[in-house]
Amino acid sequence: QHKHDVFPELALDLCCYGPIERGLDASHGGVGYYNFGLDAAALATTADSFAAIEQRVEREGRLTWEALYAHLQADWAGPEGERARLMVRGIPRYGSGGSRADEWALRITEAFVRLVKQGPTPGGYNMIPGHFSWANTIPMGKTLGATPNGRHAGTPISHGANPDPGFRQDGAPSAMAAAIASIQCGWGNSSPMQLELDPGLGRDDGGVDKVAALIRAHMDLGGTQVNLNVMDAQKVLDAHRDPSRYPDLIVRVTGFSAYFASLSPEFRQLVVDRIIAEG
């Protein structure tokens, strides 16, 4: 109803027949057919939470429902809270390959797609499901309490369709590539894979070929989009400490690129954490 005022569809307005001829934004009746992309966020946060509950509460009985609820309300405070937090974080997580969290991610995606595609909006718009958090991981996380995957209240949610960074011990991204390929929503909207690569990889024997093989395999398995950062970790750390030293440094944030110095300190920290953990 208000999109034409606050976020006009510039590309559609310029490239489609109708908006210029009718003098209307695409979202306000300028085109004959108009789709809405409906993007889900926090897939890893949610899938890991369900898997942690299933394993630690339902199967093993190491936590009761009451204890888990109390820890969440207290944001994992105190020694017992931290012990419980580490316990739920210690499960095989989404993106580790063949885990229950991987299965939960697929189950959640299938339910999301089914609900979105039940029918158009009351205004008659077709909804296209996908996984995309854009630049909203920080503001969405600020309004969310502690979650059963061990995440603290107010901290960022997981990024897009990616697993939470930093949990893979071997650093191999193949399981992540397979997991993200498996949860594509299938209607034309994307669930991208975000890759953080060190430029030294290009100097390694066969490094470029390995990255190319990973991307091809991801696409062959059903992937739809890959976002790449090829970034020296030390340079990113230096730029975070003093952005004025690197005014031209560009990073791939998610589905868009931005000057690193233009990002808020919180968002710069998020990008740094992601690159350090995954690079």
Per-residue pLDDT tens for 117-151? 999 888 788 899 999 988 899 999 999 999 999 99
pLDDT, tens only, 146-201: 999 999 999 999 999 999 986 665 556 899 999 999 999 999 999 999 988 888 87
Rounded to an integer, the average pLDDT of 67-74 is 99
More confident residue, 34 or 83: 83
Mean pLDDT, residues 261-266 taken together: 90
At position 39, the amino acid (one-letter code) is D
**Are 191 and 226 within one domain?**
yes
Instruction: Name the residue among 224, 152, 221 with its Cα closest to residue 188.
Output: 224
- Does this model's pTM top 0.95? no
CA distance 116 to 203: 45
The band of 40, judged by pLDDT with boundaries at 50, 70 and 90, is: very high
Q: How far is CA 4 from CA 24, 120, 129, in A?
A: 8, 19, 21
Which structural domain, as residue segments, surrounds residue 10?
A: 1-33
**Which among 244, 234, 236 is positioned nearest to 268, based on CA atoms?**
236
Q: Do 214 and 155 sit in the same domain of this protein?
A: yes
Q: Are residues 91 and 191 in the same domain?
A: yes
51 with 23, same domain: the answer is no
Q: Are residues 212 and 235 in the same domain?
A: yes
C-alpha–C-alpha distance, residues 75 and 261, integer Å:
32
Cβ of 116: how many Cβ atoms within 10 Å?
19
Instruction: Note the pLDDT of residue 135.
Output: 83
Q: Are residues 3 and 41 in the same domain?
A: no
What does the pLDDT average to over 72-93?
A: 98
The pLDDT of residue 171 is 52
Q: Are residues 80 and 27 in the same domain?
A: no
**Helices and strands counted in the chain (H then E):** 12, 6
Q: Are residues 66 and 17 in the same domain?
A: no
**Gap between the Cα atoms of 193 and 204, Å rounded:** 23
